[in-house]
Structure 1
């Protein structure tokens, strides 16, 4: 699945890949139907884009982004590993291992398309039809069929409803100046794409309890890593493909004493005895530019007299949610056209859009958790004190409920 969500309401990674495979083919087909011979789209183009959609996530590790963004940095210092790069390695491994008879140029182009939005993006092997590289993983402006699939899928699976209609974009898109452009009247549809994604991050992917489970899974994997050598597989596709979500079951059922700490954490998850969410605040807009991640040590250094808390009792989660372009308006990186007779592209600046749209495009949310229920009160007090020391005010919206403090004592 694209993101780790508890309870498991979303489809499998394989179904997501099939969805992107189908949407990638649809996008190329619609462009060809709308602009005909002008674009020179051929069978090779159709095949490579669809294969890129099918294989773009094959390099994901257990629990997808959690493995890459939360687990690996804790066990491989300075790691530059990414699932996009591993996807490319896995494509080569699959072709070699199974002796797949496929043209070398096809594989080369597929791998370039997979890497198109990552820091490993390579120089494109062709001098034309660069717009094809933006269909699966769009590094230019973030509009791609990968998002089309998981946003609609996860909204439906979590019963949130979804008013974003990617079909409107598929129908209105045109290729101009070797880039996929959109009719100017659809800028609100595009904004809904990014806003719906941000809403999913806020309400589902980074929900306080979802993050509590993820933090516990990360701790379990970190604890088990030295014994199971989990991270040692990330450079070897022949071993890496065996590493999937069942690693949790492996730990849970293993009798080895070395895995006891990890087993206990997984048992706590099963029993819903989660790390206790204490509170959160959104970093003030004026402080976003120079924000430094808050650590457990920051909270410990802010504790008041009374119950003593240690660094290992506290977990801090720094969650950034944006509209795909950090502090910038994503609409500014998209090219539009006035109508279907237009021969020139245009951009839409902030002052030309609806005044109901936001003027700030990112949030940084700082959350603090207690690993022990009886420390919720003390950690909540330290968290509040940290806010006073850092910003001069208490920035959290609500106080930690007294009922929760008492229940956890």
Structure 2
């Protein structure tokens, strides 16, 4: 979904603050005519243009940090292999306590460090690489260093508890809402999710068809109130449909047992071969990271000279341990790429559902492969067991949404969600 459409819908167009004079114009000094009011309106419009530009770029760049095999590379390979990577700070580190580009106040999200590497951090590194050469160094362009920080903050998303700068200025409410367009950590309803939900729901076979979200309809019935993106209560069903489609896609596609089996087998093959190729080191270097592709990683394993017999092991730089690991990786990938028969894939033994209030980290600590192997009395070994814990937060996020009733003058007023 074009992010500029979202911005234009929320702000009444990228060229002006509102399409008509809002009722609070007198408070903001945005009245018509010449003088201070016109000057204030001009500055506000310039600020909106700047925000819109930042949202557009953030929307384009927010997922460029994904590695090969997308989320599986991040969750099942990098973080399973190495956990917290030294020297690779989590995205919040780069944002905490910094100014959000001077956009009517500063941004100070919760100062914390996540224990794992994430693709948002790499996306922000790439933004620095892509935009570093076109920033304003001599007044020749309108793109400034502060804009890069704003874009990076929009990509990562801000802490839901951050209310924005305390001010009566309407532009401050718009500024706070702008940081929820690409990555909305308050409700989870953002253009990132709308984009892949529209794409994936349209690709399902007819027997598993799902309602495709209607982004433009949602945009037409959304406004910024109190710094939050709110929706008309008449669109409650449409908003619910977005979360229903997302939940259904996770059940039918993303977490399908065969899909997860293939992802886990590929990730295990990558972990086995990593000591040979050192792919995990690429997360520290943007240039090296850009060389990683799905096809390239598979080719490195399946067509390695020693594996194909073109080079004897004795004349290669591989140790015996590395050669055996590469052989195991090759066997796993061939099961995935050449057969895909159910007998060759990992088999689901058991599943369990937990409420969204349960701490998944505690569950992983208690329910370990070692414990399961011990309880089996030797029938299985710990290395034969894979625990795949994935949390779905659709219901919890849906409760955070705010709705409004449309008044006679087409303006919006807050609406109590509990009354629905």
Structure 1 length normalisation: TM-score?
A: 0.71
User: Is 2:49 aligned against 1:46?
Assistant: no
Q: Paired residue for 1:116? A: 157
From 51, 59, 64, the equivalent of 2:65 is 59
Q: Secondary structure at the match of 1:344?
A: strand
Q: Paired residue for 1:248? A: 298
Q: Conserved in 2, the CA contact under 8 Å of 1:84 and 1:118?
A: no
Give 1:198 shift. Answer: 0.9
In structure 2, runs of 5+ residues without a counterpart are 23-43, 86-115, 166-170, 308-322
Q: Paired residue for 1:363? A: none
Q: Conserved in 2, the CA contact under 8 Å of 1:296 and 1:315?
A: yes
Distance 1:285 1:165, change over 3 A: same
From 261, 269, 279, the equivalent of 2:336 is 269
The 2-side partners of 1:78 and 1:106 are apart by 29
Q: Paired residue for 2:9? A: 30
The 1-side partners of 2:381 and 2:350 are apart by 19
Give 1:193 shift. Answer: 0.9
Q: Paired residue for 1:297? A: 370
The 2-side partners of 1:226 and 1:261 are apart by 13
The 1-side partners of 2:348 and 2:223 are apart by 49
Measured against aligned partners, the alpha-carbon deviations of 1:29-64 in whole angstroms (never above 9, x if no partner) come to: 222337436584633222111111000001111111
From 148, 163, 167, the equivalent of 1:107 is 148
Structure 2 length normalisation: TM-score?
A: 0.69
Q: Paired residue for 2:179? A: 133
Distance 1:175 1:99, change over 3 A: closer
Q: Paired residue for 1:395? A: none
The 1-side partners of 2:81 and 2:381 are apart by 21
Measured against aligned partners, the alpha-carbon deviations of 1:289-332 in whole angstroms (never above 9, x if no partner) come to: 68612332233123257xx3222222232232230x6xx3x343
Distance 1:260 1:26, change over 3 A: same
Q: Paired residue for 1:177? A: 226
Give 1:285 shift. Answer: 5.0
> Which structure: greater strand fraction?
1
Aligned positions, number: 322
Give 1:343 shift. Answer: 5.3
Distance 1:89 1:118, change over 3 A: farther
Q: Secondary structure at the match of 1:301?
A: helix
Give 1:26 shift. Answer: 1.1
The 2-side partners of 1:122 and 1:262 are apart by 49
Measured against aligned partners, the alpha-carbon deviations of 1:168-206 in whole angstroms (never above 9, x if no partner) come to: 211100111122111112222212111210110111001
The 2-side partners of 1:116 and 1:286 are apart by 22
The structure whose Rg is larger is 2
Q: Paired residue for 2:382? A: 311
Alignment of 1:13-24 (within 5 A): 20=1, 22=2, 24=3
Please identify, of 221-230 and 266-275, the stretch whose mean Cα deviation from structure 2 is larger.
266-275
Please identify, of 33-42 and 156-165, the stretch whose mean Cα deviation from structure 2 is larger.
33-42
Q: Conserved in 1, the CA contact under 8 Å of 2:274 and 2:280?
A: yes
Q: Secondary structure at the match of 2:350?
A: strand
Distance 1:250 1:123, change over 3 A: farther
Distance 1:337 1:156, change over 3 A: same
Q: Paired residue for 1:321? A: 392
